[in-house]
Amino acid sequence: MFKAVMIEKSADGVQSVSVRDVADNQLPKGDVTVRVEWSTLNYKDALAITGRGPIVRSFPMIPGIDFAGIVESSQREDIRPGARVILNGWGVGEKHWGGLAEKATVSGDWLVPLPDRLTSRQAMEIGTAGYTAMLCIQALQREGVTPDKGPILITGATGGVGSVAIMLLSRLGYHVVAVTGRPEEEAYLTALGAKEILPRQAFTTPGKALEKARWAGAVDVAGGTVLANVCASMAYGGVVTACGLAADMSFPSTVAPFILRGVILVGVDSVMCPRDRRLAAWSRLAELIDPVKLAEMTSEIALADAIEASAALLDGKIRGRVVVRMS
């Protein structure tokens, strides 16, 4: 038996969630079984656990879109028992039992080796949020956004993606401007490396098709009107990476930033991201991360606390990253 968060749906469609014992023989099909050491609470996990978003595709479901742990058994030659591995995405925690459990069976194709410089806990302090932040930064770099081009705007700055993006971009020498709905977190954002802080309200009401040209690059986790206003205020040739919908799924923009300023909008997806990009992102994360700052932006909870913490995360009461301890 192992412990897991389990989401169930009754015959009349009512969703319930509990932490309970699950028998090993109930684990889904897969060629590698991992003893999960650490998992995390991501925005998507919180939507799944609270039922506030349609994340879970089949019930019963163990949520958790990421985990790090030790291979317990493997039918593959290239992944041996005892190896330390990381999983992000691939529909795990949505349509395949996920990481908020002491054990997970998955396809070996979905696993990446834990970089030598990182512990399992650090990998989950970074988590899917931090790995997505790295994918955004690598997209900015591929499009030629270097620190000399101008400031980089980051929305949802106190959240998981935003916090890691600030830390990494400032480490790389960029001038980072953080957008937050929590002005009381100024000291936190400055300590991570933000040089300027703007209130979220400056981006939440519909603006003009083109605003003052200001940003060379942007990492947007909000979507909706926020993303539209970010695009409208990009400098000529600026690059926006869009990875989230914390504000809204919509995109009420015009073509003006794209056809008059040559702005580039890059979509970033961590779930189905090809393996070579994942490996490159994790390798770079291992080089760049500041372990002290990373630990400071992280809070730790036990598996039993994951349900309560999910509501708090969606209500904007949690800052930075949340790691979930398995034992």
**Candidate residues 30, 69, 159, 193; the one interacting with ligand NDP per rule CB under 6 A:** 159
Q: Which is nearer to ligand NDP, 70 or 288 (CB)?
A: 288
**Candidate residues 105, 128, 229, 298; the one interacting with ligand NDP per rule CB under 6 A:** 128
- Nearest position to ligand NDP, beta carbon: 159
Q: Could you identify the residue written with the tokens 């994951």? A: 306
**Candidate residues 32, 134, 145, 226; the one interacting with ligand NDP per rule CB under 6 A:** 226
Neighbours of 28 (CB within 10 A): 13
Distance CA 187, CA 180 (A): 12
In angstroms, give the least distance from the CB of 162 to ligand NDP. Answer: 6
Backbone φ and ψ of 167, nearest 5°? -60, -45
Burial class (CB in 10 A: 0-12, 13-18, 19+), 213: middle
Size of the site for ligand NDP (CB under 6 A): 32
In angstroms, give the least distance from the CB of 185 to ligand NDP. Answer: 7
Contact 147, 193 (CB under 8 A): no
In angstroms, give the least distance from the CB of 94 to ligand NDP. Answer: 12
Residue type at position 130: G
Q: Which is nearer to ligand NDP, 22 or 111 (CB)?
A: 111
- Single out the segment in contact with ligand NDP by CB under 6 A; choices: 74-82, 99-107, 206-214, 218-226: 218-226
Distance CA 64, CA 153 (A): 29
> Interface residues for ligand NDP in 167-186 (CB under 6 A)?
180-182
Residues 27-66 vs ligand NDP: string with x where CB under 6 A? ---------------xxx----------------------
What share of residues in the chain are helix, strand, coil (percent, to 5)? 35, 30, 40
- Single out the segment in contact with ligand NDP by CB under 6 A; choices: 25-33, 96-104, 206-214, 241-249: 241-249
Cα separation values, 50 from 29, 54, 89, 307, 310, Å = 26, 10, 19, 8, 7
297-311 in b/e form (b: 16+ CB < 10 A) is bbeebebebbbebbe
Residues lying near ligand NDP in the complex (CB under 6 A): 42-44, 128-129, 132, 155-162, 180-182, 200, 221-222, 226, 243-247, 268-271, 313, 316
